[in-house]
């Protein structure tokens, strides 16, 4: 269990630590386009439709708004979806990047600061 949580954390940190390239998709909203492109670029395709992925991303933000940490949400995604650890963390990081950047952890919170 600790190893799976660690994998989720590494994936979450990898996305939040840097910019991710984006390609165009069929969604009408540029934010949605970028989010879906991030998922596609990382091979995250465990949703049936793009709309479901976007809905899931908004649910991630809702959980963060309700007081969960990004790590807790990533672990929740891992436990409630068919995504493996790395992809779960990446999904949460992509959701934060696209829809709720106010929940992006500071470097000090992640243990990356001095």
pLDDT at 18: 41
**39-93 pLDDT, tens digit each:** 999 888 766 789 999 999 999 999 999 999 999 999 999 998 888 888 999 999 9
Residue 36: Cβ within 10 Å count: 26
Q: Tell me how far apart the alpha carbons of residues 44 and 28 are, in angstroms, rounded to a whole number.
A: 20
Give the predicted TM-score (pTM) of the model.
0.70
Domain boundaries, the chain: 2-20+29-103
């Amino acid at each position: 269990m600790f190893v799976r949580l660690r994998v989720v954390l590494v994936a979450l940190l990898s996305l939040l630590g840097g910019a991710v390239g984006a390609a165009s998709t069929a969604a009408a909203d540029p934010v949605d386009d970028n989010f879906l492109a991030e998922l596609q670029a990382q091979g995250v395709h465990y949703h049936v439709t793009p709309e479901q992925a976007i809905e899931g991303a908004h649910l991630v933000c809702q959980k963060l708004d309700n007081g969960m940490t990004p790590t807790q949400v990533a672990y929740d995604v891992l436990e409630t979806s068919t995504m493996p650890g790395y992809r779960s963390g990446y999904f949460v990081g992509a959701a934060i990047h696209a829809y709720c950047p106010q929940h992006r952890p500071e470097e000090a919170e992640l243990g990356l600061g001095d």
